[in-house]
Amino acid sequence: MGHAVLLGDSIFDNKRYVGGGPDVVEQLRDVLPVDWSATLLAVDGDITTGVARQLRSVPADATHLVVSVGGNDALGHSHLLQRPVGSVPEALLAFHAAQQAFAHDYATMLDRVVAMGLPVAVCTIYDTPSSEPAYRVIRTALAFFNDCITRAAFARGVSVVDLRLVCDDDGDYANPIEPSVQGGRKITAAIRAFLLPEPTVRHSAVIAG
C-alpha cells in the first residue's frame, strides 16, 4: 500500500491541456495497484519556489513524493535567447547567472522536499517537440537548467525521472510545453517504475561520493 504525491507545475497539473482526456494523476491512479492512491498538489504555472507552499498540503499518509518543476523558471529567462552578445563566452556567462539563481532555488526546494523524510523522485525538464522551429536552441538552453536538477538530485541521493528520454515523440506534447494524454501515459509509466521497481529491470546508478 502506498500514497504518491505529485508536486510541481503543469507537467503534472495538465488537465486543461488534454481536451477532456485523462490528466497525469488520473493516469497514474489507473496504473497503480488498487491499494495505492495518488494526490495532485502540483499547480499549473508554479515555479520552483512554489513547491514550498505545496508541501504544506502533503497528506499525513503520503509514502512517496514526485516533483516536476523548473520549466516555468526556465521560461522566465527566455529573454536571454534574444539578448545581443559579442561572443560565445559572453552568451555563456549570461546563462551562467540564470543557472546560478535557479540552482539556488532548486536546491533550497529539494532540501525541503527531502526533509519530509519520504522517498523522492524529481523530473528533468523535457525538450520541446522536435518539430518546433526553435527546437535545437531550446534543447541546448534547457541543458543549463537540467544540469542544476541532476546535480541537486544526485548530491542528495534522490531518484531522477528523465523526461527528456520519456517524452521523445511529438505526440507526447499537447503544446510546446505541456504533456498530451500520450505523454502523460509515458510519464505515469516512468513514475510507476520509481514507485514499484521491477527487480528484473536494469536501472542507472549514480555514484556521487
Structure confidence by residue, pLDDT tens digits, 125-148: 999 999 999 999 999 999 999 999
Instruction: Tell me if 129 is assigned to some domain.
Output: yes
Quick: pLDDT tens for 179-205.
999 999 999 999 999 999 988 888 887
Q: Which pLDDT does position 209 carry in this prediction?
A: 74
Cell reading at 193? 517504475
String of DSSP letters for 61-99: T--EEEEE--HHHHHTTGGGGG---SSHHHHHHHHHHHH
Based on the structure, what is the number of domains in the chain?
A: 1
pTM of the model: 0.94
**Residue spans of beta strands (DSSP E) within 16-69:** 36-40, 64-68
Q: Give a yes or no: residue 204 inside a domain.
A: no
Other CB atoms within 10 Å distance of the CB of residue 104: 12
Evaluate whether residue 202 is within a structural domain: no
Q: CB neighbours (10 Å) of residue 61? A: 11
Range 78-93 average pLDDT: 88
Domain contains 164: yes
Spatial CA neighbour of 173 closest among 65, 18, 60: 18
Q: How far apart are CA 107 and CA 32, in angstroms?
A: 30
> Within 13 Å, how many C-alpha atoms sit on residue 150's CB side?
17
Do 152 and 106 contact (CB within 8 A), yes or no? yes
Mean pLDDT for the stretch of residues 42-55:
98
Q: How many whole angstroms separate alpha carbon 130 and alpha carbon 194? A: 27
User: For the domain that residue 170 is a member of, what is the CATH number?
Assistant: 3.40.50.1110
| Whole-number Å distance between alpha carbons of 95 and 38 | 36
Domain residue limits at 24: 2-195
Residue 201 lies in a domain: no
Predicted confidence band of residue 94 (pLDDT cuts 50, 70, 90): confident
